[in-house]
A and B are shown apart, each in its own frame.
Chain A
């Protein structure tokens, strides 16, 4: 296989950094490969991806020692714009990278810059619309598209330039499981049918691992990269999807990478697990109800967002709110916190209408960590943010800093919130909200951009909070998080509750929402299967 991307002893150091972000990287990626880049947050994945088309160092600054060559062009002499015809880069947030305002114009933009002749441009736009299934939305404004459509437009927009390499940074992390599968199917097709080389970074390994030809593990702290087949890398990787961790625990060989592989090897485990005691479902006590939502309706202009939602949430519950993008999850959260008044129906938090509350009376009852946790953080240092939170909540100075030190001791007090990693920012936002000791805690899509260790820490934290009497609602696309933490799952579709019940019951029954472990272990009958690796381990310990 001829290499199309070559890294020769590359060391990248950002200006002002003490040590390099990547050191002595030697790497060669062949034509038509699908390469998955994994690693913890802040390990240098994005730096590696951005070095491929020369954004590092041409755009970001810093120094790059060694050589990066793409299709024979050296990035030290070629700017990103001179590589635009061989490398297509799809950034993390597609919306912020769109230049024009309609689908068709966006697809043509790159070609216009490259000076492709109008006749060829027209043809390629039509081809790409069909290839990515975007023909129905060709005239639509980009702002009006769904998450999956936006991601596909962003891919199409770089694809029309006919690049030989496609680089994607977390293409599925903001998408619901269905939309993520759409995008991955497109990538599969590009690799298989058109021979394009795809390099993608992703935290949600359970979605992409089975498609990868090779995996590059970026361990961080400038340690050497681990490159190999998915099975080889997974044996030692600290970040691994549930199916791999199940395989590691059961000592299966070869290590399964997909649910299909694992099911073949899981027969014994399945029969052993049949002897485990039946799951006990905790009985909810009515008097503990803190959130009451009754026949609530809300709409944006003429578009209904909630159509008569009824819901009770009690103390100690962790409710996972699921459903595709635009199903009404965020609307329900903002109604709960009183940001929107419902068009009809009632919302009560602790018996009070949240829309009538302000200041300490509001944040003492209910707290929301928004999707982008930076929204909540407005000061230029962690310490200042904590001091503000103390004042807002009317508690003794230093309380927030103490709380933060307990849940995340490694966050430096003098850091700028925007310089923290995604996970650290989330924890800071959580601390800021929690210091007011709200009875109800809402989180909107908290695991976006989080790696597995950070996610685990979040799960533990949420379980502890629930045990101490908080009611928690998590709107999420992440089925593994729901399986790991939630006691109850509510599925919304088109603004209506379509499923509401204990986590195991709701998740196992759905092909889209079932967590990997359940998919591996579910038998022909019954829904009583473990959902997570932890649960399997506990069950095996009981059986002995």
Chain B
């Protein structure tokens, strides 16, 4: 055992406690493997963040296809239910309510703008605002005037759609933080991902800094509010942030950030060529697909080839870094299940919208009660299944379970 050894006998890595740590379940000479197959089952674990973001994207796509308030409320309810059932106990998981409030603000802004600026539709005038006559140049822009019930309702529906999309993002945010999602980006994009993560973690610290500087202004007997007060606060806060980033950079450097594997010039050139070639092919392919007069061979085949080359390039670029991943999130059947549910929801609403099935767009002129298309309801309700499909988050106490 490493602990009882004298310094002369100590192994190359003095911190190695292998023998004393690993129990009898490790075969002699064998390696200790994290048991993947077991972690992928119904034991509490966090779902792959990508799955949650895809799920939220599916719901958001569905929301973008309809202005029917009943369907939109249903989407928000589905998102809220899944969040309450499967969010992790981490602090950012509490951000969902913030997004709900943001949604309400979006609706309010949309309705107010409609009343003041946009041209009215319909004829049911509720009240008339004092109108402003604008100069000739700005013809077409209206300020004030008659406000109709139809236009307010249309604005309400439109605001609800925006709010629902926002709430879907909020749901993804509280189910899987953006920082966790970035852990899953390909190695070639890792450095970009890290800078985003660092920026994200700096935001709350900036707020804390701001608070400290405002405190100190009070301690020195100065005014805290006002334009001058705010301006005087900005400089020290920025100074503090800069100082902290230098400290962080030094710490990251001394912990091995940015180590690179040795690569031959040939591989380096190949990587560059692959990425550049991929870009050109994708651009040509996309152009040909959109332009009907281009020969068919330039469309889909070029695009596919471009993507394939791009993936190769990213893979080659990724090998430059020597990084490994600690406990990468597994992708197994719950992830597939959650993603497929969202895909079903999105596909249902997309298909209905393309086929022109009535009910997705609520009638505003003339006003009428929105219909409830059964197919859409079922399509949206499929996305509530992830509340069952996803394993429970660790750290949340299940009902009936005795806490320690």
Contact = CB atoms under 8 A, between A and B. Distances in A.
A31 B7 contact: yes
B135 interface: no
A81 interface: yes
Contacts of B38: none
A431 B32 CA distance: 61
A113 B255 contact: yes
A410 interface: no
Contact of B7 (A32, A122, A161): A32
A358 B218 contact: yes
Contacts, number: 196
Q: Taking each of B3, B216, B394, which has the highest tally of chain A beta carbons within 10 Å of its own beta carbon?
A: B216
Interface stretch (B17-25, B47-55, B115-123, B306-314): B17-25
A93 B236 CA distance: 19
Contacts of A157: 255
B251 interface: yes
Interface residues of B, number: 63
Nearest to B260: A81
A119 B215 contact: no
Contact of A96 (B10, B244, B253): B244
A98 B250 CA distance: 11
A118 interface: yes
B216 A97 contact: no
A522 B14 CA distance: 42
A91 B16 CA distance: 24
Interface in B223-277: 223, 232, 235-236, 239-240, 243-244, 247-259, 261
A108 B323 CA distance: 11
Interface stretch (A123-131, A206-214, A313-321): A123-131
Interface string A430-442: 0011001000000
A99 B220 contact: no
Interface stretch (B278-286, B324-332, B348-356): B324-332
B322 A159 contact: no
A38 interface: no
A195 B7 contact: yes
Contacts of B243: 418
A59 B250 contact: yes
B324 A119 contact: no
B14 A112 contact: no
A191 B16 CA distance: 13
A158 B327 contact: no
B251 to A, nearest CB: 3
B256 A114 contact: yes
B221 A392 contact: yes
B253 A110 contact: no
Nearest to A85: B256
Contact of B259 (A82, A98, A104, A144): A82
A448 to B, nearest CB: 16
B213 interface: yes
Contact of B256 (A32, A84, A101, A195): A84
Given A111-B326, A115-B259, A162-B15, A194 B2 contact: yes
B13 interface: yes
Contacts of B247: 91, 93, 96-97
Contact of A116 (B90, B194, B324): B324
Contacts of A375: 212-213, 215-216
A126 B21 contact: yes
A115 B221 contact: no
A265 to B, nearest CB: 32
A129 B135 CA distance: 72
A336 to B, nearest CB: 12
B324 A141 contact: no
B31 interface: yes
Interface in A122-159: 122-127, 130-131, 139, 141, 144, 157-159
A286 interface: no
Contact of A358 (B221, B239, B256): B221
Nearest to B5: A195
Contacts of A113: 255-259, 322-323
A376 B216 contact: yes
Given A84-B256, A363-B220, A127 B17 contact: yes
B327 A115 contact: no
Contacts of B33: 119
A89 interface: yes
Contacts of B216: 370, 375-376, 378
B397 interface: no
A14 B10 CA distance: 39
Q: Determine the interface band of chain A, counting residues with CB < 8 A from chain B.
A: 35 or more
Contacts of A81: 253-259
A35 interface: no
A342 interface: no
A77 to B, nearest CB: 15
B32 A123 contact: yes
B324 A55 contact: no
Interface in A38-70: 53, 55, 58-59
Given A85-B256, A122-B32, A99 B251 contact: yes
B221 A362 contact: yes
Interface string A86-109: 011101010011111110110011
Given A115-B322, A392-B220, A339 B15 contact: no
Contacts of A121: 324, 326-327
A193 to B, nearest CB: 5
Contacts of A118: 34, 324-328
A101 to B, nearest CB: 6
Contacts of A388: 220
A168 B21 CA distance: 27
A485 B401 CA distance: 53
Given A112-B323, A113-B259, A363-B221, A55 B34 contact: no
Contacts of A193: 3
B34 A122 contact: yes
A141 B221 CA distance: 36
Contacts of B2: 194
A433 B216 CA distance: 11
Nearest to A79: B253
Contacts of B7: 31-32, 195
B248 to A, nearest CB: 6
Nearest to B177: A101
Contacts of A80: 250, 253-254
B46 to A, nearest CB: 10
B335 to A, nearest CB: 19
Contacts of A370: 212, 215-216, 219
A462 to B, nearest CB: 19
B115 to A, nearest CB: 38
A378 B232 contact: yes
Contacts of A108: 326-327
A194 B14 contact: yes
Interface string B205-219: 000000011011011
Interface string A7-19: 0000000000000
B91 interface: yes
Interface in A324-352: 334, 337, 339
A195 B10 contact: yes
B258 A194 contact: no
Interface string A170-197: 0000000000000000000010011110
Given A370-B216, A392-B221, 12 more contacts: A80-B253, A80-B254, A81-B256, A85-B256, A96-B248, A99-B194, A113-B259, A162-B14, A339-B215, A359-B221, A367-B219, A418-B243
Interface of B: 2-3, 7, 10, 13-18, 21-22, 31-34, 90-91, 179, 194, 197-198, 201, 212-213, 215-216, 218-223, 232, 235-236, 239-240, 243-244, 247-259, 261, 322-328, 394-395
10 contacts: A84-B255, A88-B254, A97-B251, A112-B323, A112-B325, A119-B32, A123-B18, A161-B256, A363-B219, A370-B219
Give 8 nearest A-B pairs by CB, closest first.
Answer: A84-B256, A97-B251, A108-B326, A115-B322, A113-B256, A363-B221, A162-B13, A110-B255
